[in-house]
Structure 1
Amino acid sequence: MKAITLNLELSDKIELSDIDLPEIGSNDVLVRVKAAALNHRDEWCRQGLYPNLRNGVVLGSDGAGIITEVGEEVDKSWIGMEVIINPAMNWGNDQRVQSKDFKILGMPENGTLAEYVKVPADRIHPKPSHLSWAESAALPLGGLTAYRAACVQGQVKKGDKVLVTGFGGGVAQFAVQFALAKGALVYVSSSKVEKIKKAKELGVKNGFNYTDDNWSDIALEETGGFDLIIDSAMGDTLDHLIKVIKPGGRIVYYGATKGNPKGFQARKVFWNQMQLIGSTMGSDLDFEQMLEMVKEKNIVPIIDDVFGLEESVKAFDRMKEGHQTGKIVVQIEK
């Protein structure tokens, strides 16, 4: 079968390879992948920024397709079903935090950027009927991460004023849509006018350009402050977030692309009863509840662009540029 594999010896760091079909175990299923989607972790693997990388691994965490084969202990009725894949593996029994064995499909184990992928049977869920293959492939990792950040850790509710930073990426777009579905008043930040315009088309109240030094002053004056902020940057932007969060508010962060903050306004945080909450991916229960919300509210992922399997370098380069609005999809089978 054809697959996109990591090869750090090449200039592109990835290549279209012919590899053997995976052999499934007794509790596995084999999925013929119709579409897969990229996440930042795929590009970070390509850049060699993850530990324990190995050449030859098939990248990709997001995928949707049709089950063609099941293990001997799996219900045969799954064969022929259209499914999406939960890429969060071995979360464990504690809903509060992942287990030490937690890992994500696509590294170190082979992922979805291939014509077929093997996954444990408990990772598959029926594909939402209102979504296309590309839209279904765009949902799993970003949708799960956003649902946990907004709805589980952030406890977003009707009437909350919510700020989602860095609108345009996969998780941020889902966080916006989930918060809107809960009845929140949602705002975004972005450095691109066109991304803020897209957010407003979804129902967002307004957007702020975070490259403006006084964006937090503008946001505070307009909104009076936020009940919940969902962020993936951290770094020195934390000062701005602390400035615009209401007393008793919650800042949930699921990444730290700008690193650790150099300064930290500890006194303001404890005096105003603020909560800084970390979040990553999500449990199996989170995934199930996320799917239910997507189906109930007819939520549709924003697709930035769709590439063919043979165009994967272009797809990865698009991710690297960081100009996308929505998810980048690789169409495996047309």
Structure 2
Amino acid sequence: MKAIILRETGGPQKLSYEELPTPAPKEGEVLVRLKYASLNRRDVWITYGQYPGMQLPAILGSDGSGEVAAVGEGVKNIKEGSEVVIYPSLNWGENQSFNDSRHTVLGMPSDGTYAQYVAVPAENVYPKPDYLSLEEAAALPLSALTAYRAVAVRGEVKEGETVLIPGIGSGVALYALQIAVSLGAKVFVTSSDDEKIKRAVELGAAGGVNYGSDTYVKELKKLMGQADVSIDGVGGSTFNDLIYLSKPGARIVNFGSTAGPVPELVLPRLFFKHLDVKGTTMGSPKDFEEMLQFFAKHEIRPIIDRAFPLEQAEEAQLYMEKGKQFGKIMLEIPEAE
């Protein structure tokens, strides 16, 4: 099969398009003939060696959709030829509140979806939602799951609440916007790109402010008031702004730190406001199933920025590094011979 493999770190330039053996499904596994994969930030970080539990070589990619090509011994109720989407968490564990210590994510250390085929446990494949294309379904797993857990499970966003989402444009942030709007929240966003703010408003945001302005925090407070919930994947100095912009008793849910560590965090600003700060990443099988049901109920469709052929995975990751995308970046998998 054709696949993108990373044998050593050094950035996206180290990705290699190769002919590799097609995996055979083991007992309890399903072999999926992939049609589409989508990129996530973790894919880029892995190429630089900036991800926990590095084990190479590995085929990258957590997200994918396609057709069941074969099933291993003991697999029931999954038919060859059925269209599926892959749940990317492996070994989540029994606790719904947090993942087990054995938890990993598809696409390093285990081989992932930048390939024509992938073998995964049978419990990790779900029927493709009927209203979505295979490309749209492949755009969901990691980002939509992370956003759903952040907004609906950990954030407990309710109808009528004010929600702030900084750094709109990434896959998770856009899903968070769509989920919060579907829950009846009033959502505000920030970006360094006015066009991204405009497009977010078209998707249901109540407004937004360009954080490139020195006065953006004051502008945002005047526009929004204060937030009941902030859904943060940025970190950095922005986190302190979120504290300032929070109502007393508000929740801040963090799922990432693209801007790095939080500088000079002043704890009294947290405890005098009685703020809840919650961390989250990925989600349980229950979260994934609920996310698919929620998306189907509200007919939420992913925002897709653009698609690259599988062999251009390096170019796709370099494009992601620039941060100019609005929505998911896809890989189109060539037909297997």
**One fold, TM greater than 0.5?**
yes
Q: Is the 8 A contact 1:70 1:76 kept in 2?
A: no
5+ residue gaps in structure 1? none
Tell me the CA shift for residue 75 of structure 1.
1.3
Tell me the CA shift for residue 306 of structure 1.
0.6
Matches within 5 A, 1:86-165: 86-165=87-166
Q: Which residue of 2 aligns with 1:250?
A: 251
Q: Which residue of 1 aligns with 2:3?
A: 3
Moved runs in structure 1, 4+ residues, more than 6 A?
Answer: none
RMSD of equivalent CA atoms: 1.4
Q: Which residue of 2 aligns with 1:206?
A: 207
Tell me the CA shift for residue 213 of structure 1.
2.3
Q: Is the 8 A contact 2:165 2:190 kept in 1?
A: yes
Q: Which residue of 2 aligns with 1:231?
A: 232
Q: Is the 8 A contact 2:10 2:49 kept in 1?
A: no
Q: Deviations over 1:99-143 (max 9, x none)?
A: 101110000000001000000000010001111121111000000
TM-score by length of 2: 0.96
Taking the aligned partners of 1:10 and 1:163, their CA distance within structure 2 comes to: 35
TM-score by length of 1: 0.97
Tell me the CA shift for residue 262 of structure 1.
2.1
Taking the aligned partners of 1:17 and 1:227, their CA distance within structure 2 comes to: 49
Identity %: 44
Q: Is the 8 A contact 1:34 1:133 kept in 2?
A: yes
Tell me the CA shift for residue 321 of structure 1.
1.2
Q: Is the 8 A contact 2:164 2:230 kept in 1?
A: yes
Q: Is the 8 A contact 1:302 1:327 kept in 2?
A: yes
Counterpart of 1:14 in structure 2: which amino acid?
Answer: L
Q: Which residue of 1 aligns with 2:222?
A: 221
Taking the aligned partners of 1:188 and 1:137, their CA distance within structure 2 comes to: 25
Matches within 5 A, 1:42-81: 42-75=43-76, 77-81=78-82
Distance 1:182 1:2, change over 3 A: same
How many residue pairs match? The answer is 334
Counterpart of 1:203 in structure 2: which amino acid?
Answer: G
SS at match of 1:282: coil
Matches within 5 A, 1:3-22: 3-8=3-8, 12-22=13-23
Q: Is the 8 A contact 2:67 2:82 kept in 1?
A: yes
Counterpart of 1:47 in structure 2: which amino acid?
Answer: Y
Taking the aligned partners of 2:25 and 2:167, their CA distance within structure 1 comes to: 40
Q: Which residue of 2 aligns with 1:181?
A: 182
Counterpart of 2:296 in structure 1: which amino acid?
Answer: K
Counterpart of 2:142 in structure 1: which amino acid?
Answer: L
Greater alpha carbon shift after TM alignment, 54-63 vs 201-210: 54-63
SS at match of 1:235: coil
SS at match of 2:148: helix
Q: Which residue of 2 aligns with 1:319?
A: 320
SS at match of 2:64: strand
Q: Deviations over 1:133-176 (max 9, x none)?
A: 21111000000000000000000010010011111101001000
Q: Is the 8 A contact 1:187 1:205 kept in 2?
A: yes
Taking the aligned partners of 2:47 and 2:221, their CA distance within structure 1 comes to: 39
Greater alpha carbon shift after TM alignment, 51-60 vs 254-263: 51-60
Greater alpha carbon shift after TM alignment, 46-55 vs 246-255: 46-55
Q: Is the 8 A contact 2:251 2:278 kept in 1?
A: yes
Taking the aligned partners of 2:78 and 2:127, their CA distance within structure 1 comes to: 12
SS at match of 1:78: coil
Greater alpha carbon shift after TM alignment, 324-333 vs 70-79: 70-79
Taking the aligned partners of 2:36 and 2:78, their CA distance within structure 1 comes to: 22
Q: Is the 8 A contact 1:29 1:120 kept in 2?
A: yes
